[in-house]
Amino acid sequence: LPPHVLVFPLPLQGHVNSMLKLSELLCLAGIHVTLLLSKFSSSRLRRHSDVESRFSRYSGFRIAVFDDGLPEDNPRVGESTIDLLSSILRVGETELRKVLEATDSLSDGGARRRVSFFVIDGVLSFAMPVAEELGIPVVYFRTISACSFWCYFCSSELIAAGELPLRGEDEGKYEYWRNPNLDLPVTSIPGMEAILRRRDLPSFLRVTDPNDSVLQIMAAETRKTALSAGLILNTFEDLEGPIMDEIRKRIPNVFSIGPLHTHLKSHLDPQSSSLASSSFLREDRTSIDWLNSQPPKSVIYVSFGSLTQLTEEEHLEFWYGLVNSGHMFLWVMRPDSIAGSDNRHRNAAIPKELEEGTKQRGYLVEWVPQMEVLAHPSVGAFFTHGGWNSTLESICAGVPMICWPYFADQQTNSRFVSHEWKVGFDMKDSCDRVVVEEMVREVMGDRRRDELSER
């Protein structure tokens, strides 16, 4: 019987997306795969994606489920993602043991080998002792960029050097953004001395106290990577080779296996690959119909990912900037994308000039087939949160970016996009309609857009 791999992502859209692509590549190589998802993420995935029909061709593929410990009505977006991580770290080991014991290590009554290998998300180290007891090797898969992983790995050096982007106890978000200390260079991360400022460090390092519990969790989980059989990253050497070299000095078995979406596409026929979806939300294909009616490179595509939550003020600043830019825009607005409100009942609050401007130049949808959108000839640029999947997809599609990072690795990704890889602009720590308008005009200007695309 073929080897049997347990693939265990943190059950958030971006993490599951990458792990599903890896799972399909393993299936194509004849390996049996069990993807372990929370009940919540499995339900969303089955409801809104083609995962069941897509994987039906692989007889060795299964989905197993566990309870993430959160109530059904927890939104699991925005700041609630920390609730999810904390809950899984609390219940995860017990839940993993339960799944393995109830199914004789997922062997299907002898139809498949017992699990012989773990690929686990890089923040789920509780799986390590379970694997050790079973005598099973564990490889970590961090679904973030190599550059942001390296920042987390060096967090103790940052603390020792006093280079954390500390925030005052009573300092509001916008006041904090204006803090000049955030522009001081970071000198304690090998290989990044000439690149990063403190504001470019991952958001979980933006704390009021170096002993912050989330920072300590992220630092500890990342350090444990060195105890595994290896680390895989969804990146490629031409993009992040110098940082990969630094990581290998501390973790010898590091493998760059990306971009996963292009590898998968090359193994499948183009039609089936373009239809493949790993979405927790229903994809609105009218977005493609709308793009079909627009001139080449005339549209800026706007999406801040599956977890970002804007304030009402931020939402309006972006909207005014887009309308005032004079360019066509396709904007993904999830129903839960504004903190503390329900988008579905907001029409009465929309200023008339935005309503009129959007009728003329915009198209608003709740979710789209993103890779298809980025590959569309009408799309000229991408206004993004800078999540790693989105960043890779945009780079591979040759679409320049404006990055407005929300949290986690996005702060670091946006700096590399603008200053190291030079494939877009970094708009972090700013939310002003004039800046949005200017950046959209610049990235959509023919000459500038072509310069960024060619890189």
Judge whether 180 lies within some domain: no
237 and 136 co-located in one domain: yes
> Dihedral angle at the C-alpha atoms of 199, 202, 204, 210, nearest 10 degrees?
-60
Instruction: Determine the distance from the C-alpha atom of residue 278 to the mean position of all C-alpha atoms in its chain, rounded to a whole number.
Output: 13
Written as six digits, the tokens of 108 are: 């299907």
Judge whether 44 lies within some domain: yes
Q: What is the pLDDT confidence band of residue 455, given thresholds at 50, 70 and 90?
A: low
pLDDT in tens, 57-99: 999 999 999 999 888 888 787 677 888 888 999 999 999 999 9
pLDDT for 103 beyond 90: no
**Cα–Cα distance between 14 and 76 in angstroms, integer?**
13
Strands lying side by side in the sheet with 379-384: 362-365, 328-332, 299-303, 379-384, 401-403, 424-426
pLDDT in tens, 341-354: 655 545 557 889 99
Cis peptide bond prior to 259, omega within 30° of 0: yes
Judge whether 201 lies within some domain: no
351 and 240 co-located in one domain: no
- Contacts of residue 143, defined as CB under 8 A and 6 or more positions apart, other chains included, come to 9, 10, 14, 15, 18, 19, 121, 122, 234, 388, 389
Judge whether 108 lies within some domain: yes
pLDDT for 394 beyond 60: yes
pLDDT in tens, 181-228: 999 999 999 999 989 999 999 999 999 999 998 899 899 999 999 999
Written as six digits, the tokens of 91 are: 């219940």
pLDDT for 442 beyond 60: yes
Domain CATH number, residue 433: 3.40.50.2000
84 and 103 co-located in one domain: yes
Q: Compute the residue count for the chain.
A: 455
pLDDT for 364 beyond 90: yes
**448 versus 328: which is more confidently predicted?**
328
Q: Is 121 a catalytic residue?
A: yes
Q: Is 67 a catalytic residue?
A: no
Residue span of the structural domain in which 441 resides: 286-454
365 and 307 co-located in one domain: yes
Judge whether 38 lies within some domain: yes
271 and 361 co-located in one domain: no
Last residue of some domain: 208, 243, 275?
275
Query: Using DSSP, how many helices (H) and how many strands (E) does the chain show?
Result: 20, 13
75 and 138 co-located in one domain: yes
**Cα–Cα distance between 455 and 452 in angstroms, integer?**
5
Q: Tell me what pLDDT residue 48 has.
A: 74
Judge whether 416 lies within some domain: yes
Residue closest to 18 by CA, chosen among 344, 435, 391: 391
The residue with tokens 């372990």 is 36
268 and 127 co-located in one domain: yes
Number of independent structural domains in the chain: 2
Which of 4, 32, 68, 121 is the catalytic position? Answer: 121
403 and 318 co-located in one domain: yes
Which of 4, 15, 327, 385 is the catalytic position? Answer: 15
Q: Assess contact for 127 and 120: CB atoms under 8 A.
A: yes
Judge whether 40 lies within some domain: yes
Angle at 47 (CA atoms; ends 34, 97), nearest 5 degrees: 30
Judge whether 314 lies within some domain: yes
pLDDT for 144 beyond 90: yes
Q: What percent of the chain has pLDDT over 90?
A: 72
